[in-house]
Amino acid sequence: MPLAIISGTHWGDEGKGKIVDFISQKANMVIRAQGGSNAGHTVVVDTKKYVFHLIPSGILHPNIKCILGDGMVIDPADLLQEIQFLRENGWEDSLQRLFISEKAHLVMPYHRLFDQLQESFRQNSRIGTTGRGIGPAYEDKVSRWGIRAVDLFNMDSLKAKLQLVLNYKNILLEKVFEKPPLSFEKIFEQFENYSEQLKPYIVHVLPIIHDALATNQNIIIEGAQGTMLDLDHGTYPYVTSSHPVAAGSLLGAGLGPLSDIQSIGICKAYTSRVGEGPFPTECLDHTGEALRERGGEYGSTTGRPRRCGWLDGVVLKYAVQINALTSLVITKLDVLGGFSKIYFCTHYRIGNRISSELPIQPYDWKIAQPVYQELEGWESDISNIQYYNDLPRATRDYIEFIEDFIEIPVAILSVGQDRKSTIVRKEIF
Ligand code: GDP
Ligand code: IMO
Ligand code: MG
């Protein structure tokens, strides 16, 4: 079955955008199924850098259909900015291949505001969100206050919905947060404008997706965030509000448990995290700094410095299980060049116990210490290498050690930002 689900194995920013763009060379469709503009997916083609927040990372390939799926939360202002960026950079034609699901929810101006207000209210317990209104938008979807893309087709009904929701939000704003209310007229006018601009892209996407499946086309579902940011399966409450795991991708794309899916994990050669929450392999010393500087580990969405550390194999093994991964992609391998030793976390020490499983208790997460396997590093710059066998012995040993540890194959290696800096061991399509 030519359906590949791409999921981040850790806390996001594993290089999913780069890999989706790379494998899109042989694909017909890329679907984003969850999350919103909290994602920042970087694609570099011939030194030109693109950062996609909502638009699928396959858009730069001719003929590929790009779908913003049912499970997403879409901020119209962010989307229009991305559309404008494509227009200004010579990609006007690509917009004919862009489709937005009618069922996708919209991120409203009050969602962003409540994201900030809730974070301030939490004080020392803040999540460290991207501030893009994602949590409040999913909250409204679940409590059935949500406004969907389809609502942009009927302004009378949108007016009534917005009036009701805004009355409620304004009571919260004034009475709970002691803030001025938001103007209905202003928001409605803004959305009349969004409606005009976005209606051409909003369609019933399910027939398009199912037709692609029926005709055996190559489809990629581009996960956003990462396994450990999953609302159910991540480091709750330090998670996002959607389901970045593979099952969430299927749900958000409107697909059932099809057999014979390729579930591909994207894993960075080391680990990073943005925002608050547990991170057992975080290096708070010069190693963390070196990884951040060499890897350019600053958020693609917020510019925040990312916390960095050695590769967490306990999380990786969990990601293999929970996403039913069939193969792995290891990115940013070039960044490790120059370290004399490389460390890979095989277990956690929790008090006087050694564990190969993730803790559940928040306290255990707090005290979990990594148990490392030490491996030889490599000195040389590997970023121009095209074939696996040309990599230094120590680099191959690191990859093969990981393969033995997780018991699934490493299909692709990434050794640089550019599309070309990619080593394929096993074709995806
Ligand atoms: P995503 O959210 O998973 O798509 O990842 P981001 O785009 O947020 O962050 C990954 C960063 O690493 C981006 O700046 C990419 O251009 C960059 N990148 C991806 N793969 C490689 C690689 O193999 N080597 C290097 N040096 N950079 C990479
Ligand atoms: P991509 O797709 C890294 C993190 C935030 C915060 C938590 C909740 O680029 O890998 P949210 O705004 O979603 O309510 O924030 O999740 N987060 C990400 N971290 N990469 C991302 O996306 C992220 N999207 C959300 O930093 O800790
Ligand atoms: Mg990112």
Q: What is the pLDDT of residues 364-378, one digit of tens each?
A: 999 999 999 999 999
Q: Measured between alpha carbons, how far is 12 from 35 in angstroms, rounded to an integer? A: 12
pLDDT tens figures, 285-305: 999 999 999 999 998 778 889
pLDDT at 380: 86
Strand residues in 172-321 grouped as ranges (E) = 202-203, 219-222, 262-268, 271-273, 307-309, 311-312
Interval 177-224: pLDDT, tens: 999 999 999 999 999 999 999 999 999 999 999 999 999 999 999 999
Distance CA 264, CA 132 (A): 27
Separation of 258 CA from ligand 3 center, angstroms? Answer: 28
Specify whether 13 is catalytic: yes
If you take atom 3 of ligand 2, which residue's CA is the nearest one?
Answer: 12
Who lines ligand 1 at CB under 6 A?
8, 12-18, 40-42, 44, 296, 300, 331-332, 334-335, 414-417
Q: Per-residue confidence at 127, pLDDT binned at 50, 70, 90?
A: very high
Rg (CA), the chain: 22
Q: Of all residues in the chain, what percent carry a pLDDT higher than 70?
A: 100
Nearest to 103 by CA among 166, 157, 152, 163: 152
Residue closest by Cα to atom 20 of ligand 2: 12
Please name which ligand lies nearest the alpha carbon of 279.
Answer: 2
Cis omega (within 30 of 0) for bond into 76: no
Q: Which two tokens stand for residue 92?
A: 């006007």
Task: For each of the domains in the chain, give its residue range(s) and CATH number, in order of start.
Answer: 3-93+205-424 (3.90.170.10), 105-201 (1.10.300.10)
Return the best residue to mutate from 240, 279, 307 for the ligand 2 pocket (most ligand atoms within 8 A of CB): 240
Stretch among 12-21, 112-121, 297-306, 411-420 having the lowest mean pLDDT: 297-306
Instruction: Identify the nearest ligand to the CA of 42 by its number.
Output: 1
Does the annotation count 53 as an active-site position? Answer: no
* pLDDT score of 407 more than 90: yes
- The answer, yes or no, to whether residue 353 has pLDDT greater than 60, is yes
In this prediction, residue 1 carries a pLDDT of: 57
Site of tokens 């949500």: 146
Minimal-distance CA residue to ligand 1 atom 17:
417
HSE-CB of 66 using CA atoms within 13 angstroms: 23
Dist. CA 181–CA 283, nearest whole Å: 44
Q: How many CB atoms lie within 10 A of CB 264?
A: 28
Ligand 1 centre from 417 Cα, in Å? 6
Burial of 361 per CB tally in 10 Å (0-12, 13-18, 19+): exposed
CA-to-CA distance for 172 and 204, rounded, in angstroms?
A: 34
Residue-level pLDDT at 301: 78
Identify the active-site residue in 10, 13, 151, 418.
13
Which of the 8 DSSP states describes residue 180?
A: P
Full DSSP string of 251-281 = HHHT----SS-EEEEEEESSEEE-SSS--TT
Whether the predicted pLDDT of 260 surpasses 90: no
What letter would DSSP give residue 234?
S
Closest CA to 423 of 330, 286, 346, 297: 330
Residue whose CA lies nearest to ligand 1 atom number 28: 417
Q: Check if the beta carbon of residue 408 is closer than 8 Å to that of residue 317.
A: no
